[in-house]
Structure 1
Amino acid sequence: MPAKRRTRSPSVDALDQLDSARMQLQRASTSIHARTQAMHLRQSILRDAIETSKFTYLHEVKGHRSCINALAFSRGSGQWMASGGDDMRIHIRDLYDYHDSQSSAPEASMYRTRARLLGHTSNIFSLAWSENNTHLFSGGNDHMVHCFDLNYDAAPIDAFQLRAERRMPDMSFSEHNAGIREVSAHPTHPSLVMTSSDGGQVFVVDVRLPSPHVAQAFLFPGQVASAQWNPRDTHAFAATCSHDPYAAAALYDVRHASHLVSSSDALVRYVSQLRAKLPAGLAMARPDPTGAQFDPSGRFLVTDMSLFHPTLYAVDSSMPLATMSSVAAHPHTNPCTKPDTTVYRPNAGYRNSCTVKRGSFGFEAQAGALYYTAGSDDFRGYGWRIPHIQDLLDARTSMPYNDWIMHETAGSNEVWFRYALHGSDDMVRPLELAQPVFTLEGSNSIVNSTLCHPTMPMIATAGIERLVRLHYATPMSSDHMHPAWPTRRPNTRQRPRLTNMTALLRAIQRRPHIPSDSDTETDDQAAASPASRAPTSAELADQEAISLFDELLREEEDRSLFSYQDIDTENDTDTDPDMQSIWDSESDMHVDLDALEFLLEPDEESIETDEEDE
């Protein structure tokens, strides 16, 4: 008789299944915990590197022939860097293809040049990659927006050419009636780009539509210095415009904004009216906006303003959270301090007066902390660590305007913001981040653009020079590992007391460079032989631009945010949108160009030389 087969009860099977599931969950929890710990460790190491090394390692990327106004990293991994400027050409560099051996050539790039994009006939001011990196958009002073169909991410490696390709635009948009200030690619739609101009026009361009490709059009009553999509809201965009007497920037919704935009169309207006109590009386100012930048998460917005500091806002709130400066190390940069041009300050601290600056956020995903970087007139870039939003809110001070007027100390030699919207009339003192956590050194003139890389601990800077400088928080080449690197690395140039008049005169009479098919970044290499290191034509052009802006900076030294005039506090109202501050005035030129006119007429020999160069 066969033995009976023992069967397990359903309850025992259920318990075994529960035990197995519990063990799997425990292993998964342990794995998640380990991964989380590893992520936090990596973030901590990188954060320490950022704030300890302070981006001391750098590479200089050559190839342009004049000032560089625009930078853009491709989305995702950031493999491709686009740069454009006054030479009317766009260079596409492969940041994953670095060659140490090329660094010795005078004008060669250490990063392989994938393409040179032509088509603009004037200075290029803005660049943007589409959401999937298939298109690069560019805008310039020629009123044109160009679209280049690239899609390098999809190209096989073995299909790459050794020589850089030359490309003309695949699509051009010519509806603007003034110079383009910014192009902003849509965060999720690869065919959409927003364009803004000096003429107050903002267009949403769809490259799929027939010419003129306009999906939406908005007209602002003044110059639009910047118009940028919110990276986390596909319908919202921020625009900086000087028409609003209360706010330098505002948030709009493309679905609800009127064709003729007014202040009432704004979802949020970011207040920028400034007040301070100075020895001469109550001072007022409304700084001129030069741009606005979202952080990658779309939580914060920073406005850059002439003669003032980058100002941080929460996207959904009108009142500022913080201002960023170097006042702790350079007290003379306090906007309430009257400029003293008798004191020579080669290390002037953060200042934004002479050129348009564009900063950027970065490193939150890599380092677990958010940073903002901006260029400065003192030939440096500056970086600030952004505190947690609750800490920013807790540190902010506010009081009714009338109480502020009567208060003995509030506003005394310090800048407050006036919030006079929606029936309120309050004064707000945001947190002042007065000590940058790092500076970006090595430049010879003004830094206009600073751009944080999306994945690497790297910041690209550009400005008056023909170079893009890549600053790293960690060593990235054999040069960086050399014991002598601290003495080899380029130092920041100190602006001299006197301008190089020879270079300045050359700059005044120089004719603009017209790009041609023969232009390559190696054209100038023969001009600098190993035996006699004569400057290349690009280096001479650099000297001229640097000298020109040295003189412009000297003209700007006595400009200040406040006018230092007595103001009747009883008649202090904000109904007049034409409030004047010192940035509206112009000082006399130090160089009398009329007196030098006889020196500016090019002789026949110089004309023949220029024609040969072209």
Structure 2
Amino acid sequence: MNNDLHDSHPKRRRTFGIEVPDGPTLEPSDLRPERRRPSGIEGDVSTLESQGFRPSRRRPALIFDLRNHMPALKGPQSNRIRAVETLLERGFPYSRKLTAHISCVNALAFSSVDGRFLASGGDDLDIHLWDLHEERVRTPCCTLQGPRRNIFVLSFSAHNRFLFSGGADDVVLKFDASNLERPFNVRAPRSPDNIFYQHSGSIRGIAPHPVQDDVFITGSEDGRLILHDGRTAPSTRLRAQDTIQLTAEVTGVEFHPVMEHVFATSDQNGQVCLRDTRMAFGPLVQRTQQGVVQIYNTKLSRRDIPHLSNPETSSIAFNHQGTQLGVTMMVSKLCLPLRTEPHYPKNYFPTIYSLTDADPVAVCSAANLPDGTPIPPGERTYANVCTMKHGGFGGPGLDGEADVLYVAGSDDFRAYVWALPPPATLAAQRTVISHAEWDAGTHVGVTAFAERATGPRCIPAQLHTPRARLGGHSSIVNTVLVHPQMLLAATAGIEAGIVLHGAVDSLLGGMRPTSAAVRGIGETWVPDPLEDDEGSGEEGYGGGREEEREVREHDQRRTIRQFDGILRREGHVDVFAERRWYSHGSEEAVMIPSHDEDAQDDSDSDEAETESDSHSDSEPEANENGDVEMDDV
């Protein structure tokens, strides 16, 4: 394999300080938060607003919603922090549903800074925007249209000037989101202002720049990472200068929230890299190692298996401080309890990395219930088999406080919330041992990380007990987000409904206690009778009309049955058998065995994949930069 990313990288893995062209050495000290105003933007508040950079009009969401529950929230900051931590100890026991979609919801995104708006998109091709500052959220405040196939990713720009969308139609859509706070007609769907056609595969990641609204990076299953800069005239830069071609499908890309020249990527081969834009893009003489400044160790080792395994990374996420990176591991393929003999997990779990260390610091598993007792025999727990999942960090929503939670969806029809100990605690609990000690057999039942077969083993801190398990779903949960200010989490997946989970029942006009009951695989799905009451307005928008409700229920029943069949067929495969890693000299690769197609179960024989009929006969003509200006689409 001829790939610069793999050449001698074991020697580079711990060298974080690398000289970059036209810039300082990237060191851990660069992680200090920086309060920047976008370059080229000067003046008072009115000037900023005229240029589209409105200061956040935050309502005191956290205090407003919780002050009646805990008087301490009215006191000093230290008292408020303790009060919020007390609430978080209970997890998010209350919930309500938002129903406007009619099929799977694959992507969620809160608007930047204050999270006033929630964007949702999926297989029905509509992008709905929900205003969480409404007294009681019942219907979308706006609907955006333009995607032609399943939506996989949504992202707001740094100052909410734009909302980006991408998915299976291989294009990136840019919508004007600068006037969302103004009243408008919800029955007049909006179309994109720009369409970007540079990719030839499904869009898996869109990373807005942390400061500049016009700058973003896209990643696709065509293996390309493309830097877009709306401030640059199309004729001044060659497209090749803004493109990195990888040897594997891109599964995620994220800009660092503090260092505006740093971004992270993940790919189908399981590789997770930290990159520098000054080394990754621009003239060829300026590029070095495709911008890579850190390669994270994602390969797994087990004493009873002679080879390593490199799970696919489904997604990546920075915490808000930029000090940690969360990686969602794919091809877990386990639907049974983890307490098997021998006690080796056949899957793998969300993994936490410190930004400046190649080895992970923690693994978020779920061998225990939130009360600390082991998972009962026969009960399912966290797994990730067949869907693209997106996890993320979150915290109490108070200024200056670090993220203390990590959240992720699971194939057992729940979402999981883990409390993250302080970094020093995680570092103390992590163990690094030599290959000889590992081979001696003193770590039975342990899965470790290893750069190579004969190298040392890293055993991260094991977070076996989640803070909470979030219910409210009847099938796989793919996406979980924690609100940046409110004690609120949003989950979505195979079903058409979005579930909002709250720490108290007064959020968003009122929530109900979430049932702990979970539908079993193969059990009949029964629609929630409360969905129409909660999610539909007086005029029936979002499913109140009988025909819309019937269509939604029919599609959900078919989709749920289909994924039940997939879980039954693929739920017991070992990741070490599915994702074998091998190395030959300086080259490395993942060997993925081929299998004959399993026969379809009778239960899903009537399920045929349907394509949207919203494809247009022809695409608008692109300019020389590959972009399309949309005036009347």
TM-score (norm 2): 0.72
Q: State whether structure 2 residue 515 is matched by structure 1 residue 470.
A: no
Q: State whether structure 2 residue 415 is matched by structure 1 residue 408.
A: no
Structure 1 residue aligned with 2:329 = 305
- Deviation (angstroms), 1:475: 1.7
Q: Highest Rg: 1 or 2? A: 1
Which of 131, 135, 156 is the equivalent residue of 1:94?
131
Inter-CA distance 389–36: structure 2 relative to 1 (3 Å threshold)? farther
Which of 436, 444, 449 is the equivalent residue of 2:474?
444
Structure 1 residue aligned with 2:431 = 397
Which structure 1 residue ranges, 5 or more long, are not aligned?
A: 1-33, 100-109, 335-342, 504-519, 529-533, 608-614
Structure 2 residue aligned with 1:18 = none
Structure 2 residue aligned with 1:8 = none
Cα distance in structure 2, aligned partners of 1:265 and 1:380: 37
Structure 1 residue aligned with 2:588 = 577
Aligned Cα root-mean-square deviation (Å): 3.7
Which of 294, 303, 308 is the equivalent residue of 1:277?
303
Q: State whether structure 2 residue 229 is matched by structure 1 residue 206.
A: yes
- Deviation (angstroms), 1:272: 1.1
Q: State whether structure 2 residue 449 is matched by structure 1 residue 417.
A: yes
Q: State whether structure 2 residue 75 is matched by structure 1 residue 42.
A: no
The one-letter code matched in structure 1 to 2:110 is F
- Deviation (angstroms), 1:402: 2.8
The one-letter code matched in structure 2 to 1:414 is V
Q: Write out aligned runs for 1:365-380 (5 A).
A: 365-366=397-398, 370-380=404-414
The one-letter code matched in structure 2 to 1:394 is A
- SS, match of residue 272 in structure 1: coil
Cα distance in structure 1, aligned partners of 2:298 and 2:203: 24
Answer whether contact 1:182 1:195 (CA < 8 A) is retained: yes
Answer whether contact 1:43 1:368 (CA < 8 A) is retained: no
Which of 591, 600, 603 is the equivalent residue of 2:601?
591
Stretch moving more, 360-369 or 160-169? 360-369
Q: Write out aligned runs for 1:128-167 (5 A).
A: 128-152=155-179, 155-156=181-182, 160-161=183-184, 163-167=186-190
Q: State whether structure 2 residue 247 is matched by structure 1 residue 221.
A: yes
Cα distance in structure 2, aligned partners of 1:564 and 1:250: 23
Structure 1 residue aligned with 2:44 = none
The one-letter code matched in structure 2 to 1:560 is D
Cα distance in structure 2, aligned partners of 1:98 and 1:139: 31
Structure 1 residue aligned with 2:201 = 178
Inter-CA distance 172–369: structure 2 relative to 1 (3 Å threshold)? closer
Q: State whether structure 2 residue 104 is matched by structure 1 residue 56.
A: no
Q: State whether structure 2 residue 401 is matched by structure 1 residue 363.
A: no
Q: For 1:442-462, what per-residue CA distance to the aligned partner results, in whole angstroms no more than 9, with x for missing partners?
A: 101100000110100000000
Inter-CA distance 490–393: structure 2 relative to 1 (3 Å threshold)? closer
Q: Write out aligned runs for 1:215-364 (5 A).
A: 216-243=242-269, 248-257=271-280, 265-278=291-304, 281-282=305-306, 284-306=308-330, 307=332, 308-329=348-369, 345=378, 347-364=379-396
Cα distance in structure 1, aligned partners of 2:585 and 2:85: 43
Inter-CA distance 45–490: structure 2 relative to 1 (3 Å threshold)? same
The one-letter code matched in structure 2 to 1:398 is V
- SS, match of residue 577 in structure 1: strand
Identity %: 28
- Deviation (angstroms), 1:115: 1.3
- SS, match of residue 120 in structure 1: coil
Inter-CA distance 585–398: structure 2 relative to 1 (3 Å threshold)? farther
Answer whether contact 1:220 1:262 (CA < 8 A) is retained: no
The one-letter code matched in structure 2 to 1:415 is T
- Deviation (angstroms), 1:49: 0.9
Answer whether contact 2:417 2:469 (CA < 8 A) is retained: yes
Structure 1 residue aligned with 2:40 = none
Structure 1 residue aligned with 2:217 = 194
Cα distance in structure 2, aligned partners of 1:593 and 1:371: 38
Inter-CA distance 125–152: structure 2 relative to 1 (3 Å threshold)? same
Structure 2 residue aligned with 1:114 = 141
Structure 2 residue aligned with 1:71 = 108
- Deviation (angstroms), 1:150: 1.9
- SS, match of residue 525 in structure 1: coil
Which of 518, 523, 526 is the equivalent residue of 2:545?
526
- SS, match of residue 560 in structure 2: helix
Answer whether contact 1:295 1:362 (CA < 8 A) is retained: yes
- Deviation (angstroms), 1:344: 8.9
Inter-CA distance 207–372: structure 2 relative to 1 (3 Å threshold)? same
Hey, which of these two has a bigger chunk of helix by percent?
A: 1
Structure 2 residue aligned with 1:13 = none
Q: Write out aligned runs for 1:498-513 (5 A).
A: none
- Deviation (angstroms), 1:525: 2.9
Inter-CA distance 392–491: structure 2 relative to 1 (3 Å threshold)? closer
Inter-CA distance 84–574: structure 2 relative to 1 (3 Å threshold)? farther
Instruction: Name the structure, 1 or 2, with higher relative contact order (CA <8 Å, separation 6+).
Output: 2
The one-letter code matched in structure 2 to 1:96 is H
The one-letter code matched in structure 2 to 1:318 is A
Inter-CA distance 283–521: structure 2 relative to 1 (3 Å threshold)? farther
Cα distance in structure 1, aligned partners of 2:541 and 2:562: 26
Answer whether contact 1:285 1:580 (CA < 8 A) is retained: no
Q: For 1:575-595, what per-residue CA distance to the aligned partner results, in whole angstroms no more than 9, with x for missing partners?
A: 67345477x65662342799x
- SS, match of residue 538 in structure 1: helix
Q: State whether structure 2 residue 551 is matched by structure 1 residue 537.
A: yes
Answer whether contact 1:380 1:492 (CA < 8 A) is retained: no
Inter-CA distance 453–115: structure 2 relative to 1 (3 Å threshold)? same
Stretch moving more, 393-402 or 123-132? 393-402
Q: State whether structure 2 residue 192 is matched by structure 1 residue 169.
A: yes
Structure 2 residue aligned with 1:561 = 575
Structure 2 residue aligned with 1:388 = 422
Cα distance in structure 1, aligned partners of 2:322 and 2:596: 37
- Deviation (angstroms), 1:119: 0.8
- SS, match of residue 354 in structure 1: coil
- SS, match of residue 559 in structure 1: coil
Answer whether contact 1:326 1:350 (CA < 8 A) is retained: yes
Q: State whether structure 2 residue 446 is matched by structure 1 residue 427.
A: no
Which of 510, 516, 520 is the equivalent residue of 1:495?
520
Answer whether contact 1:464 1:545 (CA < 8 A) is retained: yes
Structure 2 residue aligned with 1:548 = 562
- Deviation (angstroms), 1:161: 3.3
Answer whether contact 1:181 1:224 (CA < 8 A) is retained: yes
- SS, match of residue 143 in structure 2: strand
Answer whether contact 1:374 1:450 (CA < 8 A) is retained: yes
Q: For 1:264-290, what per-residue CA distance to the aligned partner results, in whole angstroms no more than 9, with x for missing partners?
A: 742111001111123xx5453111111
Answer whether contact 1:231 1:298 (CA < 8 A) is retained: yes
- Deviation (angstroms), 1:476: 2.2
- Deviation (angstroms), 1:477: 5.3
Cα distance in structure 1, aligned partners of 2:194 and 2:403: 39
Q: For 1:327-358, what per-residue CA distance to the aligned partner results, in whole angstroms no more than 9, with x for missing partners?
A: 2349xxx9xxxxxxxx994x411111121110
Inter-CA distance 364–35: structure 2 relative to 1 (3 Å threshold)? closer
- Deviation (angstroms), 1:499: 7.4
Cα distance in structure 2, aligned partners of 1:363 and 1:132: 21
- Deviation (angstroms), 1:302: 1.0
Answer whether contact 2:135 2:508 (CA < 8 A) is retained: no
Q: For 1:288-339, what per-residue CA distance to the aligned partner results, in whole angstroms no more than 9, with x for missing partners?
A: 1111111011000011111110111111110110100102349xxx9xxxxx
